[in-house]
Amino acid sequence: MRLRRRKAEPRRAPRPNYMAIAVLEHALFGIQPEPGTAAALTIALRQVGACMTHRPVETTTLGQLPQALCTRCGKSMIQGDDGTWEMA
Protein backbone atom coordinates (compact mmCIF):
# COMPACT_ATOMS: atom_id res chain seq x y z
CA MET A 1 0.00 0.00 0.00
CA ARG A 2 1.29 3.37 -0.95
CA LEU A 3 0.78 6.25 1.42
CA ARG A 4 -0.31 9.48 -0.09
CA ARG A 5 1.12 12.67 1.18
CA ARG A 6 -1.49 15.23 2.04
CA LYS A 7 -1.35 18.33 -0.03
CA ALA A 8 -0.30 21.32 1.98
CA GLU A 9 -3.06 23.88 2.14
CA PRO A 10 -2.08 27.12 0.48
CA ARG A 11 -1.41 29.88 2.94
CA ARG A 12 -3.83 32.72 2.78
CA ALA A 13 -2.32 36.14 2.60
CA PRO A 14 -3.27 38.31 5.55
CA ARG A 15 -6.18 40.55 4.68
CA PRO A 16 -5.69 44.29 5.07
CA ASN A 17 -7.68 45.98 7.82
CA TYR A 18 -9.50 48.59 5.74
CA MET A 19 -11.05 50.19 8.80
CA ALA A 20 -7.67 50.75 10.45
CA ILE A 21 -6.31 52.12 7.18
CA ALA A 22 -9.22 54.59 6.87
CA VAL A 23 -8.82 55.69 10.50
CA LEU A 24 -5.08 56.23 10.01
CA GLU A 25 -5.73 58.15 6.79
CA HIS A 26 -8.02 60.44 8.77
CA ALA A 27 -5.50 60.85 11.61
CA LEU A 28 -2.45 61.41 9.45
CA PHE A 29 -3.82 63.12 6.34
CA GLY A 30 -7.26 64.39 7.33
CA ILE A 31 -9.06 62.22 4.76
CA GLN A 32 -12.71 61.81 5.79
CA PRO A 33 -14.08 58.23 5.70
CA GLU A 34 -17.34 57.47 3.93
CA PRO A 35 -20.34 58.21 6.17
CA GLY A 36 -21.95 55.15 7.72
CA THR A 37 -18.82 53.01 7.65
CA ALA A 38 -17.10 51.44 10.65
CA ALA A 39 -14.24 53.89 10.20
CA ALA A 40 -16.62 56.86 10.42
CA LEU A 41 -18.13 55.40 13.60
CA THR A 42 -14.69 54.83 15.12
CA ILE A 43 -13.68 58.42 14.41
CA ALA A 44 -16.97 59.67 15.87
CA LEU A 45 -16.34 57.62 19.04
CA ARG A 46 -12.94 59.25 19.29
CA GLN A 47 -14.62 62.59 19.73
CA VAL A 48 -16.13 61.38 23.00
CA GLY A 49 -12.93 59.62 24.07
CA ALA A 50 -14.36 56.10 24.09
CA CYS A 51 -11.48 53.65 23.95
CA MET A 52 -11.67 50.54 26.12
CA THR A 53 -8.55 48.86 24.80
CA HIS A 54 -5.99 50.74 22.78
CA ARG A 55 -5.05 49.26 19.45
CA PRO A 56 -1.68 50.77 18.59
CA VAL A 57 -0.29 50.82 15.08
CA GLU A 58 3.37 51.68 14.89
CA THR A 59 4.14 54.92 13.07
CA THR A 60 7.86 55.03 13.77
CA THR A 61 10.06 56.39 11.03
CA LEU A 62 13.78 55.86 10.67
CA GLY A 63 15.82 57.40 13.46
CA GLN A 64 12.86 57.93 15.82
CA LEU A 65 12.04 56.36 19.14
CA PRO A 66 9.24 53.76 18.79
CA GLN A 67 5.94 55.62 18.39
CA ALA A 68 2.42 54.46 17.69
CA LEU A 69 -1.05 55.79 17.12
CA CYS A 70 -4.12 54.13 18.58
CA THR A 71 -6.48 53.30 15.72
CA ARG A 72 -9.46 53.62 18.05
CA CYS A 73 -8.93 56.83 20.01
CA GLY A 74 -6.18 58.43 17.94
CA LYS A 75 -3.93 59.14 20.90
CA SER A 76 -0.16 58.98 20.55
CA MET A 77 1.59 56.09 22.25
CA ILE A 78 5.19 55.28 23.03
CA GLN A 79 6.84 51.94 23.65
CA GLY A 80 7.94 51.28 27.21
CA ASP A 81 11.08 49.46 28.28
CA ASP A 82 9.17 46.16 28.54
CA GLY A 83 7.89 46.43 24.96
CA THR A 84 4.33 47.40 25.82
CA TRP A 85 2.67 50.52 24.43
CA GLU A 86 1.79 53.32 26.82
CA MET A 87 0.09 56.67 26.39
CA ALA A 88 2.57 59.36 25.39
Would you count residue 46 as binding Zn ion (CB under 5 A)? no
Please, is 75 exposed, middle or buried when counting C-beta atoms within 10 Å of its C-beta (0-12, 13-18, 19+)?
Answer: middle
**Count of residues touching Zn ion (by CB under 5 A):** 5
Quick one: which segment of 7-15, 22-30, 31-39, 73-81 binds Zn ion (CB under 5 A)?
Answer: 73-81
Asked if residues 43 and 20 have their Cβ atoms less than 8 Å apart, the reply is: no
Instruction: By CB under 5 A, name the one of 40, 51, 57, 78 that touches Zn ion.
Output: 51
Would you count residue 22 as binding Zn ion (CB under 5 A)? no
Q: Nearer to Zn ion by C-beta: 3 or 42? A: 42
Would you count residue 69 as binding Zn ion (CB under 5 A)? no
CA distance linking residue 27 with residue 31, whole number of Å: 8
CB of 3 to Zn ion, least distance (A): 52
Nearest to 60 by CA among 77, 83, 42: 77
